Structure 1
Amino acid sequence: MALPRGAGRGAAAAAERGWYLSAREEDEDADEDAESAPLLPGSVRHPPDRGSSFGFSVFNLMNAIMGSGILGLSYAMANTGIMGFSILLLIVAGLASYSVFLLLSMCTQTAVTSYEDLGLFAFGSPGKVLVATTIIIQNIGAMSSYLLIVKSELPGAVAGFLSGDSESGFSSRSWYLDGRLLLLITSVCVVFPLALLPKIGFLGYTSSLSFFFMVYFTLVIIIKKWSIPCPLPLSSGVENLQISNITGECKAKLFRLSKESAYAIPTMAFSFLCHTSVLPIYCELQSPSKSRMQNVTVTGIGLSFLIYFVSALFGYLTFYDKVGSELLQGYSRYLPHDTVIMTVKLAILFAVILTVPLIHFPARKAVLMVFFSHLPVSWICHIFITLTLNTIVVLFAMYVPDIKNVFGVVGSTTSTCLLFVYPGLFYLKLSREDLISPQKLGACALVIFGICVGLLSLILIIFNWINQ
C-alpha cells in the first residue's frame, strides 16, 4: 500500500490561503484555464525528461490502491452475489474516480499538495484537524488489518517449514506457532525499528513489491480454483478427502442479501482508498495537468478494478458460501502443504511487514499536526508517537477476532469520509460554480451517498455484533 511522499506544510498552506482568496476576487474565470495549468502558481513546468511518466504514475497510484482489502473481497462477493458485487464494485470505483476529479479541481485552485491542507482551505483549522484525525484512524485501521494477516498467516507459514503436519497437536501448543506472540515479536523486532526511521528511504521501493505480490496472488487464485474440489472436503488436506454430499454448495449466486452484506461496500471503500496519495503523485507527474492526472486516475482505478474483480470471482468460485473473511485462510485449510500457496503466503507476509512501517509515516505526520503542532520537532516526540501508534495497532490486531470487522468499521467511517464525503464537501465550499451546476450537484450527491451508505453500513454491522 503506497503512501503520500510530498505532503504540504500547514504554515505554507496558511500563507498561500491569503493569495488564494485574493486571487478568487481578481479572476473569477481562472477555472477555465486550470485544465492545462501547472499545479503551483507561478511555477515553471518540468521539461519532458523531468518528473514521473504517465505509466509510472499509474503504477504509483495502483500501488497506493492495492492492499489488504483484496483478501476480503471474495467474502463480499459471497454475501452479495456475482452480479450484486459487480454492480457495487463498479459504483464504488466510479465514485472514487469522480471524487479524485473533485480533489484535482480543488488542487488547481488552492495550490496545495496534501489532503489536510485542503481541509484548511475549505474550513480553516477545524477542517484541517478533522481531515488529519480521519487519516490517523484510517491508517491505524489499515495497519491493524495488515498485522491481522501476520497473526493469522505467519503461524501456518512457520508450521509449513518446520513440520510435515501443520495441524498436529504438538504444533498447536508450540510457542512459535502462537499467532499473537509472533505478531508481538514481529512488531517489536521489525515493524517498530523500521517505523523509527526519519525518512522512508528504501521502504518506498520495497513497498512497490506489494503490488506485484497482489498480481501474483491473483494469478495463483485463478490457477488453484481447479485444485480444490467442490463440494469442499469435510476434512482438510488433499491426502484425506471426504467429500460432502451437499451439491448445492457449488452453485454461484448472482444476487444475495444477508446480514453479512453490510460489510460489502465498506470493504470496497477500504480497498479503493488512495486519495491521500493522489496530490503528491500529481505533483510528480510529467507536464502536470488536471486532465492528464485524471487519465492516470481512470487507468489506475480501472486496472485495480480488474484485479480486484478477478481475484474476488475466482476466490468465490473456489469456496462459494464457505469463503472466509480472509481469503488465504481457506487455502491454508484445504491446501496446507501446497508449495505455490506457501510462496503466496510468504509474498503477502513480506509485503505486509514492510508496508506497515510505511503507513506509520503519514499517521505520525497527522498526529504531529493535530496534537503537537506547537512543539518543535524532536527525536523524543518522534519516538513517543511511533511507540504509541505501534502499541495501539498491535493491541487492535491481537484482540480483534476477524479482519472483516476492521474492513467494516474503518470502511464505513473513515474510508467513506476520505473517499466520498470530504471531496464533495471541499468542492461545494471552494468551487465558484453555481449551486445547480452539474459538478456541484455531483459533489452534493457524492456527500449524500457517502453519509447514507456509511451510516447504514455501520448501523447494520453494530446490529450484527449485538445479535451474535
Structure 2
Amino acid sequence: MELQKMNGHSREDGFDGLGALTEHEEFLPHKTGVKKETRFTDFEGKTSFGMSIFNLSNAIMGSGILGLAFAMANTGIVLFLILLVSIAILSAYSIHLLLKSAGVVGIRAYEQLGNRAFGTPGKIVAGCIITVHNIGAMSSYLFIIKSELPLVILAFLGKHKNTGEWFMDGNYLIMIVSALIILPLALMKRLGYLGYTSGFSLSCMVFFLISVIYKKFHILCPLDVGQQNTTPIAVDYAAVNGTGDACEAKLFTVNSQTAYTIPILAFAFVCHPEVLPIYTELRDATKKRMQNVANVSILAMFVMYLLTALFGYLTFYGKVDSELLHTYSRVDTLDVLVLCVRVAVLVAVTLTVPVVLFPIRRALLQILFPEKPFNWFIHIGIAFCLIFVVNLLVIFVPSIHDIFGLIGATSAPCLIFILPGIFYIRIVPEDQEAFRSRPKIQAACFAALGVVFMIMSLSFVIIDWVTGASRSGGGH
C-alpha cells in the first residue's frame, strides 16, 4: 500500500497545535519502556521537492483545460480572470486547512482525517467522495483517448474517413491503452515513482499551450469553423450573427452558460485527495515545505490555465468550441501541428490516469482493509478492477456529460470547500483555537461557501436536464 496507516504525533516540522502535550508524551521517562505507536514522520519520504511539484501539478491539471477558452468566451476576460484568481486562492487555502488538520493529529490520509473528525461514517463519506470524483476524472481521460486516438491513427494512415477497421474503434483502443500503459503504471507501489511520467505529461501540456499561442498569430479572424478545410475561409460574421464585433474580445459577458464557469474552474483545481499522499512521499516533509509545493503547483497551473484560455479565446472568440482542440481540427484537418498537439494531449491524459487511480485505491484500502499491511494481491486486484469498471463505463455509456455534471457539482465542492473546512473545525482542539476564533470562523464560512457552490451547481445541472439546452463542456 503506497500509504500505510500512519497515526501518531509529529515532530517539530512546522505543524501547529502539537503543543505541550506532545512534548510531554515524547520526553517523559516512564514512556521510554512503552512501545511507541507508529508515527507518520517515521515514514521516510524519498520524493524530491521538484518531483512532488510535478506530481501535484499533474493531479491539478486535467481535461478541463480544453474547455477553459469556452468558459472565457462565456464570461469575458476580466470576469474569467477574477474567478480564476479566486478559485486558485481558495484552493491554496483549502490545502492549508488540510495540512494543519493533518499536523494536529499526525495523519496524512484524507479518509483518516474524516475518521478522526466524525468516526467511521466520516471515513466512509470521504472515501466515497474521493472514489466517485476520481472515477469521473478517469472516465473523462479515457473518453478523450476514445475520441481522439482514432483520429490520430487516421491522420498517420493518410485517411480522411474511418473505414471501420477494428483498430479504428475507440472501444478497442481504450482497452489496449489501459492494458499496455495504464495498468502497468498503476501497479507501481509508490506514487513518487510516477513523478517522471508526471513531468513528461506536464511537458506535453506545455507543448499544447505553446501551440495555442502560436496558432493565435497564424489563424486569421473571422474564419469559418463550421466546415473542414485545409485553409481557413473568412466569412461575414456581421451577416451571420447580426453583429459586427465577432472578432472583438469581451471583458464582461453574461449568458446562459456563464453560471457553469465557477463549477468548471473549481473542478479544474481539484487535487486534494492527492495532497496528503504526495505529502507522505515528500523528502524532508514539513507543513511549510508541502504548502510551498502546493503554492508553486497551483501558481503553475494558474498560469497555464490563463494563457490557454486567453489565447484560445482570442483565436476563435465567440466561435470557440467547448473542446478547444476540436475547434482547431474543424478549422484545418491536415494541420501537422494540430496532429502533434493531439498526440501530446493523448500522452498527457494517458499518463495522468495512474496518478488519479492512486487516491481511489487508497480510499478503498482505508475503508475495506484499514489494518492490513501492504499486500501485492490486493494492490493489483484493486487497480485491475478500477480500470475494468472505468472501461466498461466509457464503452457502454453513450453520453457521460450528465454524469460529469453531477460529479462536478457534488464532489468538487466537497473536496475543495466542505470537507477541509469541517475537518479543521472538528479536529483542531478548542484549547488551541476556540470555536469562535477567527481561523475556525473562516473555516466555517469556507465550508458554507462550498454548500452554496454545490446548491448552485446542482441547480444548473437539473435545469439543463429539464430543458435539454446544455451546450457546456466540462470535465477535470
Q: TM-score range by the shorter chain?
A: 0.7 to 0.9
Opposite residue 152 of structure 1, the aligned amino acid is S
What residue number does 2:435 align with?
A: 435
What residue number does 2:197 align with?
A: 206
**d(CA) in 2 for partners of 1:7, 1:195:** 14
Opposite residue 221 of structure 1, the aligned amino acid is V
**d(CA) in 1 for partners of 2:396, 2:310:** 30
Equivalences for residues 355-394 of structure 1 within 5 A: 355-371=352-368, 385-394=382-391
- What's the CA shift string for 1:390-445, capped at 9, x where partnerless? 23322433456667656533222112111111110011111231223221111011
**d(CA) in 1 for partners of 2:70, 2:115:** 38
Q: Which stretch of structure 1 is more off in the superposition, 360-369 or 101-110?
A: 360-369
Equivalences for residues 276-355 of structure 1 within 5 A: 276-285=273-282, 287-355=284-352
What residue number does 1:35 align with?
A: none
Aligned counterpart for 1:411 among listed residues 408, 412, 427: 408
Please say if 1:274 is aligned against 2:271.
yes
Please say if 1:91 is aligned against 2:75.
no
Residue identity (%): 42
Please say if 1:132 is aligned against 2:127.
yes
Aligned-pair Cα RMSD in Å = 3.3
SS in 1 for 2:461: helix
- What's the CA shift string for 1:340-364, capped at 9, x where partnerless? 2211111111222233234333212
SS in 2 for 1:259: coil
- What's the CA shift string for 1:241-266, capped at 9, x where partnerless? 35343343222222223332333222
**d(CA) in 1 for partners of 2:268, 2:237:** 36
Equivalences for residues 76-225 of structure 1 within 5 A: 76-163=71-158, 166=160, 168=161, 171=162, 173-192=164-183, 194-196=185-187, 203-225=194-216
Cα offset, 1:111, TM superposition: 1.0
Cα offset, 1:24, TM superposition: 7.5
**d(CA) in 2 for partners of 1:286, 1:383:** 26
Aligned counterpart for 1:228 among listed residues 219, 227, 236: 219
Indicate conservation of the 8 Å contact 2:223/2:232, yes or no.
no
Please say if 1:72 is aligned against 2:72.
no
**d(CA) in 2 for partners of 1:150, 1:42:** 38
SS in 2 for 1:122: helix
Cα offset, 1:235, TM superposition: 2.2
- What's the CA shift string for 1:353-379, capped at 9, x where partnerless? 233234333212322333455889766
Structure 1: tracts of 5 or more residues without a match: 18-22, 31-39
**d(CA) in 2 for partners of 1:203, 1:300:** 16
**d(CA) in 1 for partners of 2:134, 2:415:** 12
Cα offset, 1:203, TM superposition: 4.4
Indicate conservation of the 8 Å contact 2:422/2:444, yes or no.
yes
SS in 2 for 1:257: coil
Indicate conservation of the 8 Å contact 1:61/1:300, yes or no.
yes
TM normalised by structure 2 equals: 0.82
- What's the CA shift string for 1:30-54, capped at 9, x where partnerless? 9xxxxxxxxx9695899xxx95555
**d(CA) in 2 for partners of 1:78, 1:395:** 34
Cα offset, 1:217, TM superposition: 1.0
**d(CA) in 2 for partners of 1:455, 1:193:** 39
Opposite residue 207 of structure 2, the aligned amino acid is Y
Q: Across the two proteins, how many residue pairs are aligned to each other? A: 440
Structure 2: tracts of 5 or more residues without a match: 11-16, 25-37, 239-243, 469-476
User: Compared with structure 1, are the counterparts of its residues 282 and 304 closer, same or farther at alpha carbon in structure 2 (3 Å cutoff)?
Assistant: same
User: Compared with structure 1, are the counterparts of its residues 6 and 385 closer, same or farther at alpha carbon in structure 2 (3 Å cutoff)?
Assistant: closer
User: Compared with structure 1, are the counterparts of its residues 186 and 297 closer, same or farther at alpha carbon in structure 2 (3 Å cutoff)?
Assistant: closer
**d(CA) in 1 for partners of 2:397, 2:317:** 25
Cα offset, 1:456, TM superposition: 0.9
User: Compared with structure 1, are the counterparts of its residues 351 and 403 closer, same or farther at alpha carbon in structure 2 (3 Å cutoff)?
Assistant: farther
